[in-house]
Structure 1
Amino acid sequence: MGGGQVTSTHESSSTSFDAESDADGVAAASRHTMLSQVLTQASRLGVSIVLARLLTPQDFGVVAAGMVVMVVAWQLTDLGTSAVVIQRETVDDTLLSSLFFFNLLLGIFLGVLTVALAGPMANALGQPAAAPAIRALAAVSVLGAVGNMHHALLRRTMQFGRLATVNIANATVNGAVGIGLAFAGAGIWALVVGTLAGVAVSTGGAWLYVAWRPSPRFSLRRLREVGKFSINCFWSSALAVFFAQLDKVVISRMLGGAALGTYTVAQRTVSSPMNAVSATVSTVSFSAFAREQDNPETLRSGAIRATGVVALVVLPAMVGLAVLAEQAVLVVYGAQWEAAVPVVQVLAPVAIVQAVLSVTSSVMLAMGRSDWLYRWGLAYCLVGAVVMLMCSRWGLLGVSLGLAGVMVVLAPLEMKMSLSLIGMRLSTYLRPMLPMVLITAAMAAVARLAAGGTGLLGAGVVLQLIAGASAGVVAYAALIWHFGLPAVDDARRVLGRWARRR
């Protein structure tokens, strides 16, 4: 459903864009994507740590304001067209070329618009000093538009090894340029120039790996064929991106640049490890689920297994981070960022919900219900804006708790609706996670006791962090090994051990 065969005079060309997938193929795709995500998130976190050591919270807030605009503008350049290429059963050159030139024109328009409105947007965010950075980051809209179709084709044909290489190159260049400029004293421009260099390399790499080139064909009729799905997908993605940036907008306007800088550091500390896993699973699962959209039993099994892998890693990472937040922030960032500790403690559990939600969102999108995702995105934005604005009177912690409340209330409802598309109950979907939740709780208790005990003996925060993290890792690994959870086998397959045996 949601992507019938495209009729075209160039129908034969569509076959070159199709690829079959099986369990080993999905495992290999997950392996490649995991590698790229780990390196990408490590690079971003590394740059953030270096900048946090060199910049004040106020300066970091200026960078964060510029990145808010860049992320939203970049999302707008796609307009849901990448999802169309991945989700449809067949695509051809006319459709691809039409989508490419549409993206390019839109990217140029958004780039020019961003440059023209950089000053007013910076003022609206309460960070006038961010205007130069916003103008420079406008180039991302054009660079991203040039590479959208090529990245989508890599995902459609399950060439995640090549996609991983492209993303790793992006992360490497971004990190090297950003950290190098930071040490050279470039300040906020370290992150700006690093981001631009990384996106340029990513686009160039995608063109290198994908043989397809746009031809001088542009068909409004073909665009209209995919318009409904594309627009709904765009609005759902755009609203998701806006919701992800909404907390920063509220903080920037209501609490100022220093608070925004502190919040951004806390959020990146939480999101980097979470994204490394959830982005891997959602990226691969959407492509795999789209190929099995007429097989509900396979989708049910795939959703449970994907969520198991996510929970296996994200649960202990986020709970452990929340338990050891004070030691981690002080050791990694320094005493000037101490205000980020309670924010990390609140956002870490929220990240668990977001990670699990990424799997069910892939189910909804693969089944062609981008309209449902759009409506849910709208609900998150409307409710989130009201709640976080009301909670901003209690500072950073209030906004964080408001965000947590919105996710706790709305996420289960969205999951339930997504799972109804494949005939699965929410309780059936979540039940396999219960053993991991109990094991993670035991791990958290061990980590907290180890860190606290080390502190009572007079050790500093570095030793407390090492003791707590080490004890937690050992306890979690021992419990997981003892109970032999199915998710461990799936994780092994992703890492390649079982893929070589079978």
Structure 2
Amino acid sequence: MTGLRRSLLFSVLDRYGVYAFGLVGTVIAARLLTPADFGVFAVGASIVMLIDVMRDFGAGTYLVQVEEARRDVVRAAYTVSLLISLACAAALAAAAGPIARFYGEPGLAHVLLVLAGTFLTNPLSTAATAMLRRDMAFDVLAAISLAGAAVHLVVLVSLATLGHGYMAMAWAALASGLTRGAAANLARPMPWAFVPGLAGWRAVLAFGGWSTATAVVNVIHDALPQLMIGRILGAAPVGLFGRAQMVCQLPDKLVVSAVHPVVLPALAEHARGGGSLKEAFLLGIRHMTAVQWPALLCLALLADPVVHLLLGPQWSTVPHLVRIMAVGMLWLFPAFLTYPTLVTLGRIRDTLTLSLITIPPSLLLILLASFHSIEAVAATTWVTAPLQVLVALSFIRRHLTIGWGEIARAVCPGAVIALCTAAGPSLVVALGGFHLDISMPAMAIAIALAACGWLVGLHVSGHPLLAELLGLRRRLTRWA
């Protein structure tokens, strides 16, 4: 097995394991907590997201891609991360009371104070985690992530069972952060890295400034909609919208999040070796559409039983939102490659420019939709997702000289595979009288037919992913 395939394998195990823990926690918490509990924590988490992006300041990413990670460089990255994390924690703690009064939720202050403590866990793991990523030690990183996820699950379920409501989620986040920080330093001990130093700080700030500015704009795009919904429609709609987003992000968390940690190190290594980034980009979107599009179409068809299984019957409004958002998210197939590709090309500034072009009109549209209904907010994905992707592809095409025809040829097999995959679930829904709220046995049959249709689609389209799956099967057979 090649180094890249091995890294991808452990990254997949990492993300799937972490998501499995998170999914179990969500399923249990959805039955122990109310939509209002989720709404209060979602508002607090959204506020933290706006500040959280500042605390690392791109220090970890800088250490991954820097040509030579000398001790003075690592110490400078740690020092920058430490100072900014302390400032962010202090700012959030000071603002907790006023923010809670603004939203009329006294408990929000307690959530924010606990989440401020999570900022202080970041400098503990920045250097060790970055060096493990640089060394492509994704097996160790997987163990660290799984340990943090396990602690999160135990603390969340325990405190929710004891009746701590939204605070159960806050304390679980803090416990998980402490666990990951301790585990990272046990796996990669670097006590010398905790000696403050500013040698080479200019390079860290130069990279981190552009990276953080881009991240801030993108986090605003992710967090501000929930803040606007909470202010205009109330806490309960925030909880409904957040759960719909969680369900719609299932394909992303199961596929993209598993691949994402490996993409930047792999692309940087590929470029240093003289490889073609154009071919790598086209191959990436070819593979992504073959997985993401079928998953989203099936999710739109099976939203009712999926939501009932994951969240319970009290979330009956969510399936309709899931169907709306899943169709709009079909456009986001190249999103996971945009940032790594531009960084590898040395165009870190373009990532900020791209975000500034697409995000303000997207937020304005969501704000206007918030005055109408939560369904209107969900429908904005039909406009915002195509806008973001078309602008991103325009930037990448300029640097890699990719034609629109080449992109169309890369994604056409994915469209064929998606249609083949969705045929089985569509048949189940049709035989059930075109009622989308099918039973659990019917959903099991639909999923089985979708898996068969996906394999047929791979064969019919001649997709290269089929060869990878056959190779993986041979390796597993030899191992067994």
TM-score, normalized by length of structure 1? 0.88
Which residue number in structure 2 is paired with residue 431 of structure 1?
409
1:136 paired residue among 98, 114, 117: 114
Cα deviation for residue 417 of structure 1 reads: 0.9
- The root-mean-square deviation of aligned C-alpha atoms, in Å, is 2.6
Out of 58, 65, 71, the residue aligned to residue 49 of structure 2 is 71
The answer to whether structure 1 residue 114 and structure 2 residue 96 are counterparts is no
2:341 to 363, 387, 396: 363
Cα distance in structure 2, aligned partners of 1:303 and 1:237: 22
Residue in structure 1 matched with residue 208 of structure 2 by the alignment: 230
Q: Helix, strand or coil: the match of 1:117? A: helix
| 1:388-424 Cα shifts (integer Å, max 9, x gaps) | 1111123111112223311212212212312432333
What code does the residue aligned with 2:8 have?
S
C-alpha spacing 1:208/1:351, structure 2 compared with 1 (3 Å): farther
Shift, 1:74, TM fit = 2.6
Picking from 429, 432, 435, the partner of 1:451 is 429
Distance 1:169 1:163, change over 3 A: same
- 5+ residue gaps, structure 2: none
Aligned residue type for 2:362:
G
CA deviation map 1:121-170 (0-9, x unaligned):
33445644322111111111110122112211111111111111111111
Determine if contact 2:417/2:461 at 8 Å carries over to the other structure: no
Q: Which runs of 5+ in 1 are unaligned?
A: 1-22
* Deviation of the 1:105 alpha carbon: 1.7
Change (3 A) 1:379 1:43: farther
Give runs of aligned pairs for residues 74-153 of structure 1, distance below 5 A.
Answer: 74-125=52-103, 127-153=105-131
Q: 1:488/1:239 Cα in 2 relative to 1: closer, same or farther (>3 Å)?
A: farther
Single out whichever of 156-165 and 404-413 deviates more from structure 2. 404-413
Deviations 1:87-131 (A, max 9, x none): 221121111101102211211221121111112233445644322
Aligned residue among 22, 25, 29 for 1:51: 29
Checking the alignment, whether the CA contact within 8 Å between 2:78 and 2:194 is kept in structure 1 is no
> Is 1:461 equivalent to 2:439 in the alignment?
yes
Q: 1:162 to 1:331 in 2, by over 3 A?
A: closer
**Residue in 2 aligned with 1:470?**
448
Q: Secondary structure at the match of 1:365?
A: helix
Q: Distance in 1 between matches of 2:55 and 2:15?
A: 22
Q: Deviations over 1:222-241 (max 9, x none)?
A: 11123222210111122222
Q: 1:298 to 1:127 in 2, by over 3 A?
A: farther
- For 2:474 and 2:4, locate their aligned partners in 1 and report how far apart those are by CA, in whole Å: 11
Of 447-456 and 59-68, more deviation after overlay is shown by: 447-456
Q: CA contact under 8 A between 1:240 and 1:377: conserved in structure 2?
A: yes
Say yes or no: does 1:156 pair with 2:138: no
Counterpart CA distance in 2 for 1:249 and 1:500 is: 52
The Cα offsets for residues 367-406 of structure 1, whole Å up to 9 and x where unpaired, read as: 2222111122223331122111111123111112223311
Contact 2:27 2:310 in 1 (8 A): yes
Q: Is the 8 A contact 2:58 2:211 kept in 1?
A: yes
- Secondary structure in 1 aligned to 2:372? helix
Cα distance in 2, alignment partners of residues 425 and 123 from structure 1? 52
Call closer, same or farther: CA 1:424–1:125 in 2, change over 3 Å. farther
Q: Match of 2:351?
A: 373
The structural deviation recorded for 1:500 is 7.8
Structure 1 counterpart of 2:16: 38
| 2:418 counterpart letter in structure 1 | T
Seen in structure 2, the aligned counterparts of structure 1 residues 188 and 329 have a Cα distance that, compared at 3 Å, is: same
Q: 2:305 touches 2:438 (CA, 8 Å); kept in 1? A: no
**Given the alignment of the two structures, is residue 441 of structure 1 paired with residue 419 of structure 2, yes or no?**
yes
Structure 1 range deviating more: 66-75 or 145-154? 66-75
Partners of 2:73 and 2:199 within 8 A in 1: no
Aligned residues of 1:331 and 1:461 also touching (Cα < 8 A): no
Q: What does residue 20 of structure 1 align with?
A: none
Q: Aligned pair in 2 of structure 1 residues 395, 458: CA closer, same or farther (>3 Å)?
A: closer
Q: Distance in 2 between matches of 1:287 and 1:126?
A: 45
Q: Distance in 2 between matches of 1:484 and 1:420?
A: 29
Q: Is the CA contact 2:25–2:153 (under 8 Å) kept in the aligned structure 1?
A: yes
What is the match of residue 332 of structure 2? Answer: 354
- Give the letter aligned to residue 245 of structure 1: A
Contact preservation (8 Å) 1:28, 1:496: no
Aligned partner of residue 61 in structure 2, secondary structure: helix
Aligned length: 479
Does the CA-based 8 Å contact 2:75-2:198 persist in structure 1? no
When residues 87 and 452 of structure 1 are mapped into structure 2, their CA distance, relative to the original with a 3 A threshold, is same
Structure 2 counterpart of 1:201, from 179, 190, 193: 179
Query: Paired residue for 1:6?
Result: none
2:290, 2:414 within 8 Å by CA — same for their partners in 1?
Answer: yes
Shift of 1:443: 2.4
Task: Show the counterpart of 1:275.
Answer: 253
Q: Which amino acid aligns with 2:255?
A: V
What's 2:364 paired with? 386
What's the CA shift string for 1:284-342, capped at 9, x where partnerless? 11111122335674322322333333333322222111111122223432332111112
Contact 2:290–2:417 under 8 Å retained in 1: no
Q: Which residue of 2 aligns with 1:316?
A: 294
Residue 312 of structure 2 aligns with which residue? 334
1:60 aligns to what SS in structure 2? helix
Match of 1:15 in 2: none
Change (3 A) 1:126 1:419: farther
Deviates more, 1:345-354 or 1:75-84: 345-354
